[in-house]
A and B are shown apart, each in its own frame.
Chain A
């Protein structure tokens, strides 16, 4: 969790956020949507060096799906297509009823990891993902009961307070995803990344997620700070300015290449499990 970790060659965990639920093929035709498409993208991302696969389920029309059945179909396809990658389900769901938010945790087997939003997030002009403390606690309780490691989604600095609120209940080490972008996420800048890292809960491992054009520079900085990184079409539709990304694997390959140039080894799936206490 520091520059010393980078210097010591701590393995870098790469998460591939393959599809998401905000945008889809209407934004970039390369975004995988169906279980078969996501599974193919997952296999390519794993081959490229990703050890965690972050999943959202969709309907055939590309619209969001939250049911355990839809996540089951997706997770089964991904597990069949991949070697040994860690499956992480999203429990995010702007405007979706709280009762649906736990559905992605109820597959068989349960996902090894799941996202756990730490607080509110604005969307569009009128929507908010409220993520009340009551919902956060309920999701966390179900994760613990099912042996699922939470990835704490810290959308802004205040959400570090929320992570501290549940610090004692978290399995070691806490895994904190620092989110940078527009709206109610942290303003994307190197200084803010440093600030967020300095204020992490004691003992936490951290991941850097930055939207759009910030994905490349801030994840690279995360590599140097001893953190881990998430890339993929959920967060960034472009490889370069005006150049749509061709695939999730293309974005993972670039990160792996940069890590190699910087002398940071990329974690195998076994190493990722060890680092995260899975």
Chain B
């Protein structure tokens, strides 16, 4: 089993042409750079696992709901934190 998500790449330049000084985590499942907090899931840190913890991974793999119950989708509108 790979030690990071199979959709994780490290890139300086994104599909939209944005570029960064350092390589950043990039999700090929959604073709976008990854938010820093989500990157912990991509890197499988702290016992996080894309298969159970990432909706992008599960969507790309057609894995559906973990519980079998497809409730309304959630959104993450919190910009920041504590």
Contact = CB atoms under 8 A, between A and B. Distances in A.
B82 A211 contact: no
A212 B38 contact: no
A61 B75 contact: no
Contact of B46 (A91, A92, A95): A95
Contacts of A63: 25, 36, 39-40, 43
Contacts of B23: 61
B17 to A, nearest CB: 12
A72 interface: no
Interface of B: 10, 14, 18, 20, 22-25, 32-41, 43, 46, 48, 52-55, 66, 73-82
A20 B80 contact: yes
Interface in A165-183: 177, 179, 181-183
Contacts of B78: 22, 121, 123, 181-183, 185, 211
18 contacts: A21-B36, A23-B80, A24-B36, A26-B14, A26-B35, A27-B35, A62-B36, A64-B36, A95-B40, A121-B82, A124-B55, A153-B82, A177-B82, A179-B82, A181-B78, A211-B79, A212-B79, A235-B79
Given A26-B24, A127-B53, A183 B77 contact: yes
A58 interface: yes
B79 A97 contact: no
B79 A22 contact: yes
A17 to B, nearest CB: 6
B46 A97 contact: yes
Interface residues of A, number: 48
Interface of A: 17, 20-27, 29, 58, 60-64, 90-92, 94-97, 115, 117, 121-127, 129, 153, 155, 177, 179, 181-183, 185, 209, 211-212, 234-237
Nearest to B49: A126
Given A181-B78, A183-B76, A96 B36 contact: no
A62, A121, A122, A235: most-surrounded residue (chain B CB, <10 A): A62
B81 A234 contact: yes
A215 B48 CA distance: 32
Contact of A60 (B22, B34, B46): B22
Nearest to B81: A92
B22 to A, nearest CB: 5
A50 B35 CA distance: 27
B61 to A, nearest CB: 14
B80 A235 contact: yes
